[in-house]
């Protein structure tokens, strides 16, 4: 089974549609869209509404609805220099 979702780039507002298998993980979504948008190397997380998704969570566990929107946001690591 395949689920189509829309992922929004929080930094640019751009969106891309992704077809996901139930076995796909959140980490794979992050890697897929990061490569598509040629993102700078860095840490990213995915939010779904007001929840942050864990990297190892599978699409099946998330019960993602068709055409639901997820958002890729940078996870800032600086601050001491």
Interacting residues toward other proteins by CB under 8 A: 10, 26-27, 30-31, 34, 41-45, 47, 50-52, 54-56, 73-81
Rounded Cα–Cα distance for residues 8 and 46 (Å): 10
**To the nearest whole angstrom, how small is the minimum distance from the Cβ of residue 60 to other proteins?**
16
Q: Is residue 42 within 8 Å of 57, Cβ to Cβ?
A: no
Please identify, using beta-carbon distances, which residue of 66 and 79 lies nearer to other proteins: 79
Rounded Cα–Cα distance for residues 70 and 52 (Å): 10
Please identify, using beta-carbon distances, which residue of 1 and 48 lies nearer to other proteins: 48
């Amino acid at each position: 089974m395949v689920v189509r979702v829309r992922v929004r780039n929080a930094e640019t507002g751009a969106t891309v549609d992704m077809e996901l298998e139930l076995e796909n993980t959140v980490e794979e979504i992050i890697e897929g869209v990061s490569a598509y948008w040629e993102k700078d190397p860095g840490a990213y997380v995915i939010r779904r509404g007001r929840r942050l998704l864990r990297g190892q969570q599978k699409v099946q566990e998330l019960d993602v609805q068709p055409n639901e929107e997820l958002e890729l946001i940078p996870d800032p690591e600086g601050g001491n220099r």
